[in-house]
Copies of this chain bind each other. A is one copy, B any other.
Amino acid sequence: MVVAARQLIRERGYHATAFSDVLQLSAAPRGSVYFHFPGGKRQLAADVAGVHAQEQVDEIARLAATSTSAAELVAAYVELARDLLVGRSYQQGCAIAPIVLEAAGESDELAEVARQAFATIIASMAARLGAFGLDGAAALRLADATVSSVEGALITARALRHTRPFDSLLPVLVNQANREVASTIGSA
């Protein structure tokens, strides 16, 4: 159910994802919904945000393991987001963004879930950048910038149906990573 709901939220947003559509896509029996999700659609969306954030944390760990520098990690993160968007024909974006834009205003619980999801992803990126030699403040700055700009490119590239926003952001973030590393070394 969470897998099906996540796909639909990424394709059409929060409000247009009806419980009945989730049931149909997941082929889950109707009775199981109210058993597993007594909190209804909001609870399902909260679980989707949690799963999405955890997958991002896992992907960042995987990308960090095959990178040798902060610049390589941010480049790999931008490229992964770009390639997944293209691979899904520009039809699936971030699962958390619709919760922020559609539901955070009406539900304090979902606002908190979205806050925690982005805080978790950014902290995870900052920790990996720190392991590549950036000091704490620089790592957090670059993590903020990287996660936020990829979030934006998932919207503009989807609208433009073109990879240009990702391709334009990539050297900007790589340059900043190299600059932060040089400045950390310079001040050490």
Query: Which residues does A use to contact B, with CB under 8 Å?
Result: 11-16, 91, 93, 96-98, 100-102, 104-106, 111, 114-115, 117-119, 122, 140-142, 144-145, 147-161, 164-165, 167-169, 171-173, 175-176, 179
Given contacts A13-B102, A105-B11, A161-B115, contact A148 B169 (CB under 8 A): yes
Knowing that A104-B159, A148-B153, A150-B152 are A-B contacts, what are 4 other residue pairs whose CB atoms are under 8 Å apart, sorted by A's residue number? Answer: A13-B102, A115-B159, A115-B160, A119-B160
Interface of A is mostly: helix
The number of times this chain is found in the oligomer is 2
Inside 8 A of A151's CB, which chain B residues have their CB? 151-152, 155-156
Q: Once the chains bind, are A159 and B96 in contact (CB under 8 Å)?
A: yes
Q: What's the nearest-Cβ distance from chain B to residue A27, in Å?
A: 22
Q: Once the chains bind, are B155 and A97 in contact (CB under 8 Å)?
A: yes
* A172 to B142 Cα, complex, angstroms: 8
Inside 8 A of A104's CB, which chain B residues have their CB? 158-159
* A14 to B16 Cα, complex, angstroms: 10
A148: contacting residue among B16, B93, B168, B175, CB under 8 A:
B168
Given contacts A15-B102, A101-B13, A105-B11, contact A168 B156 (CB under 8 A): no
